[in-house]
Structure 1
Amino acid sequence: MQNDFLQRAHDPRDPDPWLALYLDSSTPLPDQVKRAWLQDLASPSRQFLLPFVRPFARLMIILIQVLKAVLPRRWSASKLLHRLLVWGLKGFVSPQANWLILRHFHLGAQIITFIERNAPVSVPLSPLTPLTIDDLEDELFLKHDLNLFNFVIHLNQKLRDEGKALAAVENVDFSMITEPPLKMEDMPHGRLNGIDLQTAIEIFTPVYQLFLTDNDFWRAANSLQLDETMGVYAATVLNTPQHLLLLNNKHPLVPMSTLGAGHRLVLHGLSSEMLHCLLTEMKQAQQTPALTPTPLRD
């Protein structure tokens, strides 16, 4: 569903907040991402459906937690979960939200690869780069969380074993930072594809909890606080601590309640987009030759 805030004329007596956020350049986001993000935020789904969905979803998280107390500890149905998620995404979620969700896997893989390539040690990686919503059926949401924790563990174990540490890099390798090969027009555009990203995440969160073990769900929720960790890694490599200013999912040593996991997941996605944008801008700056001053003639 498209929002027309880009087409409306500006009225100083009634300024459009979405237009202000779109034109504001203080938040590092590619133009097409910011446009899709704000069109999704400005949808009727988020305005009228989210206020009812969010408290109900959080109540369901509490009730499912009680249910988990009587279910076998290792009970889970991850494959069924991912089939349900794919069905919901294809049938009911907006094109902008689906596009942003698929982008997130690519961006996460590129950011992890960026840190690994610029670290003084090498560790195994398992990048996830789905090209279609159907690709998510291969338990990609669960694997995404596992990849993040495994990367942090492998990287820091190797650094400890070799007595090394992350440090600023003089010639930073940006070769893996690219625009994901995903197109908005390839996303489902059915009559029912109108649920915005935030509302969809709030709906999916208790479903995610129900079909995974307590351990898997807790780990998924608390992986969001590794935004701070990944931001510190990237800022260390780049020697740019100012890039931590817009992080919100902190502190990794203070686990938060799973009740707010949906909202924090949205922040996680936005943080990934902003970090990827900054890395893209740095890559472009690195590839642009410095201008040589023209010598003065006698």
Structure 2
Amino acid sequence: MAEPVRSDPSMWAAVAVDPAVPIDRAVVRKIIADQRRLSRRWLYPLARPFSRVVVALISAVKRVLPFRWMPLATMDALCIWYLRRFVSPDAVELLIRHFVIETNLVNFVLRNTDAAIPPVTLRPVSLAELGDHAVVEHDVNVYDVLIALDGVPLAPPSPPARLDFAELDIPPIDAERRRLRLLRLDIQTALCVMNIPFSMALTMEEYRRAVHSMRFDDSFLEILAVLCDDDTFRHWKNGELTVWMDSNVDVPRMVYRHALICEYAHAHLVKLAAGADAAATEA
């Protein structure tokens, strides 16, 4: 009896060509390369529980000593130094890229609604630009936009009006690839470490606000689905309830998933923009 044909496919090869992933293939390859780093396999399983325990202890003590343990400027400087010396350039690029992508997403919402606030300007292209409280500003922007949408009708534009797809570009990012690094950690392990000074520098309320901002991913996906009249955005919802207040979560994991959701949504917007441009050209 003939032996059945046995296939031995690579998980990574399948992920790299998954047609359901809208992200640009070059970016997908960087994400895969980052997840295949040795630090992701060997250090992340240790860094993940260590980070949660340390942050839980910090949070417990902060209930008794509820003040800022570290100036925000010190946190910024410490994280930038850490990213320059211990995190892989690809991971650094993906991290900086996330700030730009999230700004592009919230500005798309602002441009296509009557929200009465100016566009967000946080679009760093280098590690140095992650200073000046960029991490905190990036979280605050989410709240500012959602609050500005209170009472604003959400609906796709009526013809002949068109959606404004301006400024969805990603500028060249300087991840300081030529800088000597002592380690080249993956982004998930890096996030576990950075969560510790983050929890020290922020007040309890600021930390809760930052963590809770990621529960609004579903809200923004719904807003994008309504504005674009496209259910695709709804497929990436996680079922998070914004009225459920709970900061005792795996923050680095939430941050990583949040970044991927933003990548998916942004890539789909870029696809819609290309389709709109093609339709306008034909017309």
Unaligned runs of 5+ in 1: 1-11, 293-298
Q: Distance in 1 between matches of 2:115 and 2:144?
A: 15
Do the aligned partners of 1:64 and 1:209 also contact (CA within 8 Å) in 2? yes
Q: Distance in 2 between matches of 1:108 and 1:258?
A: 24
> Residues 139-179 of structure 1, C-alpha deviation per residue, up to 9 Å, x if partnerless?
100111111111111222xxx2xxx4111124111012113
Matched length: 275
Q: Distance in 1 between matches of 2:32 and 2:231?
A: 27
Do the aligned partners of 1:246 and 1:271 also contact (CA within 8 Å) in 2? yes
> Residues 40-78 of structure 1, C-alpha deviation per residue, up to 9 Å, x if partnerless?
001101000001111111110111012212324455511
Q: Distance in 2 between matches of 1:134 and 1:291?
A: 40
Give the C-alpha shift of residue 33 in structure 1.
1.1
Q: 1:176 aligns with which of 150, 153, 167?
A: 167
Counterpart residue number, 1:136: 130
Counterpart residue number, 1:216: 206
Counterpart residue number, 2:119: 125
3-state secondary structure, aligned to 1:258 = coil
Do the aligned partners of 1:105 and 1:128 also contact (CA within 8 Å) in 2? yes
Q: Distance in 2 between matches of 1:199 and 1:27?
A: 24
In structure 1, what residue type is equivalent to 2:217? D
TM-score normalised to structure 1 length: 0.86
Give the C-alpha shift of residue 181 in structure 1.
2.4
Give the C-alpha shift of residue 290 in structure 1.
7.5
Question: Alignment identity in percent?
Answer: 28
Counterpart residue number, 1:4: none
3-state secondary structure, aligned to 1:126 = coil
Unaligned runs of 5+ in 2: 1-5
Counterpart residue number, 1:258: 248
Counterpart residue number, 2:12: 18
Counterpart residue number, 1:82: 76
Counterpart residue number, 1:152: 146
- Mark the CA change 1:71 to 1:121 in structure 2 (over 3 Å): closer, same or farther: closer
1:205 aligns with 2:195: yes
CA RMSD of aligned residues (A): 2.1
- Mark the CA change 1:165 to 1:188 in structure 2 (over 3 Å): closer, same or farther: farther
- Mark the CA change 1:116 to 1:25 in structure 2 (over 3 Å): closer, same or farther: same
- Mark the CA change 1:84 to 1:155 in structure 2 (over 3 Å): closer, same or farther: same
In structure 2, what residue type is equivalent to 1:181? P
In structure 2, what residue type is equivalent to 1:205? N
Counterpart residue number, 1:295: none
Q: 1:166 aligns with which of 154, 161, 170?
A: 154
> Residues 92-115 of structure 1, C-alpha deviation per residue, up to 9 Å, x if partnerless?
111111001111111111111100
> Residues 237-264 of structure 1, C-alpha deviation per residue, up to 9 Å, x if partnerless?
0011231112337122223333311100
3-state secondary structure, aligned to 1:195 = coil
Give the C-alpha shift of residue 191 in structure 1.
4.2
Q: Distance in 1 between matches of 2:35 and 2:86?
A: 16
3-state secondary structure, aligned to 1:190 = coil
TM-score normalised to structure 2 length: 0.90
Give the C-alpha shift of residue 23 in structure 1.
1.2
Do the aligned partners of 1:76 and 1:213 also contact (CA within 8 Å) in 2? no
Q: Distance in 1 between matches of 2:249 and 2:167?
A: 35
Counterpart residue number, 2:3: none
Q: Distance in 1 between matches of 2:204 and 2:181?
A: 36
Counterpart residue number, 2:64: 70
Give the C-alpha shift of residue 214 in structure 1.
0.4
1:103 aligns with 2:94: no
Identify which range, 204-213 or 38-47, moves more after superposition: 204-213
Q: Distance in 2 between matches of 1:122 and 1:87?
A: 37
